A and B are shown apart, each in its own frame.
Chain A
Amino acid sequence: MLGFSKGVSRRMVVLLAGAALVSCSKDAGPVKVGVLQSLTGTMAISEVTVKNAELMAIDEINAAGGVLGRKIEAVVEDGASDPVTFSQKAAKLIESNKVVTVFGGWTSASRKAMLPVFQRTNNLLWYPVQFEGNECSPNIMYSGAQPNQQILPAFDWAVAQGYKSYFLVGSDYVFPRTANLILKTHIADRKLATAGEEYVPLGGADFSTVISKIQAAKPDIIFSTLNGDSNVAFFKQLAAAGISTTTLPVMSFSIGEQEAQAMGPQLVQGSYAAWNYFQSLDTPENKAFVAAYKKKYGAEAVVTDPMVHGYINVYQWKAAVEKAASFDPTAVRKAAVALADAPSPMGPIKFATNQSLVQTAYVGQLDAGGQFKIVSKSPTPIAPEPYDRLAFPGKTCAPA
């Protein structure tokens, strides 16, 4: 008897606690979201500003009344440039802080480390950076460019300029290897030449051999997927070998306004980059965005592609929550791919059914001030293709 009554009372306690929880969540307190970027370590220079842009969107939405009548409370965590930390902090945000969604991530390694956490908890990650494709999880919204929205438009531009011989240089990890695999397939498909393909370890600073091979191969253009500080060493040693960006153009996929500033604009002046957003875009939405960002974070602040992706992710989440009338991650991601075209600092955007973003591609050339002069723009926004048709035939995203 004693055991029975104890069981009842336990059950009662659980029920009461459950009721208390339900009444709590019905309460119109703030709704928590996670913001998870590297605030320390190597990647901090790039990711802190993405965090700033995400928080700015949250502040703007709160000032305008919040989402479904509730204020947004951002729980900011530091991924510390370390994939394992990213995965631990994602679990902490979802399981201890009970966030309804998370904005964050930068490197593919950080995304891949967080993915199992989001799948296990069935939560939703909004990822803001261009990447190599070859992945589509229902638990991630990929707003950064797929290869067909950044790399291939840059290649099309180069073909239109009449460049016939391509030299591929990259840091040795998944993004450059996959990007170059796709590029080589497309170069061969157009009957053009891959003059060389070279990889240097991440952070590597010796390009003597690479440059000798470039000099021997005499390509028309270099496509560079080098990352971080290797870029500085590469451009310096190119200059030291007497090769200037005017005689041999370089197209980079990881140099934005911020990196150009940090590296010294003179060093990279005249080189090209491909992104879905440039700070110099001449649209009313972009001017308003840049002005608001500078007002909040200082007149010297520069704005880059991943920051704008972080910013629009928050607004797309808000729109999807309102369409679904729910914070439930499954309902939100289903609503997110059914939204109408939305204006944004980077032009009209919308999430396709594969949970990647339909967006415009631009090619820009760096000027002496570290800003881009836009030299080419895709005629219409491009639909995202996580699996390149030529390089990975037959592979598609399973319907979400």
Chain B
Amino acid sequence: MDGVVLALGQGFNGLSVASLYLLAALGLALSFGLMRVINMAHGELLMLGGYIAYLVMKAVPGTAGLLLALPAAFAGSALLGAAIEATLIRRLAARPLDTLLATWGLSLILQQAARNIFGPIGVEVRAPAWMNTAVAVGPLSFATTRILILALSVVLLAGLALLLTRTRIGLLVRAVNQDRMMAAAVGVDVRRVDMVMFALGSGVAGLAGVALGLLGPVTPTVGQSYIVPAFLVVVMGGLGSITGSTVAAIILGVFTAMVQIFVDVSVAQVLMLLLVIAFIQVRPQGVLAPRTRALDA
């Protein structure tokens, strides 16, 4: 009986971890899927979201502050993302290695800037008091914060799905994603689509930063601890597929939570890496490979 309770509890913990991985990975999946660029500074967009939440909730504490922090973090990270896209990525997009190096350099600059402004020790985003509770279901208890973060990622996923399938910009994104040159040839403003999607992905990273701030400290390196799982999710999910990323995040989150019943956190991370390596060997195209007619796919 105890074993069942523990497994059920770990199932929830796994979904909670998966929701964090997914929030961190969504923006990456969007930009990677569309532009085939690897943005090493993605973690710092997360960090920015966390610091914005810290500043907003310092000024306006409580629930109102949290409700204000979400759009503020989204807007702040989206703006920085748009600026990165316009100044760096657009100019280097044809050279993947250079993009990698330039965004990595940018990531170091942003980390050091945060260190200079906020100090090397983490700041605390103080969650409203009512969130510091747990919902008890029989012998199980679920932290309210984690339930809310799960809900946030579900809402966000639904929103993105609607955006991509039901709106004009979504149509354009799918067109560019399938065949960039053909889309450009029929008059789609490819650069504008790039910019909008990159900003959107960055904004989602900002939201992820708020979620992380509710669970732990916001530090200059907070993005670094989530960027590796985020890349794993994107790679395992199939390049740029939102559905694939979701499935991959759930697989990885639940897997680590379940193995943690038997081993400690450090070993669980090693096992997670081994799982991804084995998975990529068997299915290099990821959980769901995007169908495309482009020759370079």
Contacts and interface: CB of A to CB of B under 8 A. Distances in A.
The judgment on whether A and B are partners is yes
Interface of B: 2, 5-6, 9-10, 13, 16-17, 20, 119-122, 124, 126-127, 131-134, 141, 143-146, 212, 215-217, 219, 221-222, 225, 257, 260-261, 264-266, 268-269
A198 to B, nearest CB: 6
A202 to B, nearest CB: 10
A164 interface: no
Nearest to B256: A209
A45 B131 CA distance: 30
A212 B216 contact: no
Interface string A250-283: 0000000001001110010000000000000000
Contacts of B2: 216
Nearest to B269: A201
Contact of A212 (B13, B121, B269): B13
15 contacts: A199-B264, A200-B265, A203-B221, A205-B217, A209-B257, A209-B260, A212-B9, A212-B13, A232-B124, A232-B216, A236-B127, A240-B145, A240-B146, A264-B124, A267-B124
Contact of A206 (B9, B10, B144, B265): B265
A264 B218 CA distance: 13
Given A229-B217, A233-B217, A264 B126 contact: yes
Contacts of A263: 121-122, 124, 217
Given A208-B16, A232-B217, 10 more contacts: A44-B120, A198-B264, A199-B265, A206-B265, A209-B13, A228-B121, A229-B217, A240-B133, A240-B144, A263-B217
Nearest to A216: B6
Contacts of B134: 240-242
A239 interface: yes
Nearest to A212: B9
A229 B264 CA distance: 19
B265 A201 contact: yes
A172 interface: yes
B266 A201 contact: yes
Contacts of A200: 264-266
Contacts of B6: 212, 216
Contacts of B144: 240
B17 A208 contact: yes
Given A215-B141, A240-B144, A241-B143, A229 B265 contact: no
A240 B225 CA distance: 21
Chain A interface residue bracket vs B:
20 to 34
A226 to B, nearest CB: 12
B265 A210 contact: yes
A237 B212 CA distance: 11
A59 B240 CA distance: 61
B225 A203 contact: yes
Name the 8 nearest CB pairs between A and B, nearest first: A233-B216, A205-B216, A232-B217, A242-B134, A208-B13, A209-B260, A229-B122, A240-B143
Nearest to A210: B265
A204 B219 CA distance: 12
B211 to A, nearest CB: 12
Contacts, number: 110
Contacts of A343: none
B265 A45 contact: no
Nearest to A201: B266
A348 interface: no
Contacts of B124: 232, 236, 263-264, 267
Interface string A144-182: 000000000000000000000000000010000000000
A270 to B, nearest CB: 14
Nearest to B213: A236
Contacts of A119: none
A209 B265 contact: yes
Contacts of A206: 17, 20, 215-216, 265
Contacts of B119: 45, 262
Most chain A beta-carbon neighbours within 10 Å: one of B10, B124, B144, B269: B124
A205 B212 contact: yes
Contacts of B5: 216
A42 interface: yes
Contacts of B265: 172, 198-201, 204, 206, 209-210
A251 to B, nearest CB: 20
Contacts of B212: 205
Contacts of A232: 122, 124, 216-217
A228 B145 CA distance: 23
B225 A205 contact: yes
B143 to A, nearest CB: 4
A41 interface: yes
B104 to A, nearest CB: 19
Most buried by A among B5, B122, B269: B122
A239 B146 contact: no
B12 to A, nearest CB: 8
Contacts of A205: 212, 215-217, 222, 225
A205 B16 CA distance: 13
A250 B133 CA distance: 19
Interface in A50-68: none
A317 to B, nearest CB: 29
Given A198-B265, A206-B265, A229 B215 contact: no
A236 B121 CA distance: 15
B266 A199 contact: yes
Nearest to B129: A239
A149 to B, nearest CB: 26
Interface string A201-235: 10111101110100110000000000011001100
Interface-centre pick from B20, B144, B265 (highest chain A CB count, 10 A) = B265
B64 to A, nearest CB: 20
A228 B132 CA distance: 22
Contacts of B16: 208
A204 B265 CA distance: 9
A239 B146 CA distance: 12
B47 to A, nearest CB: 13
Contacts of B133: 240, 242
Contacts of B146: 208, 240
Given A208-B16, A212-B10, A237 B266 contact: no
Contact of A229 (B20, B145, B219, B266): B219
B213 to A, nearest CB: 10
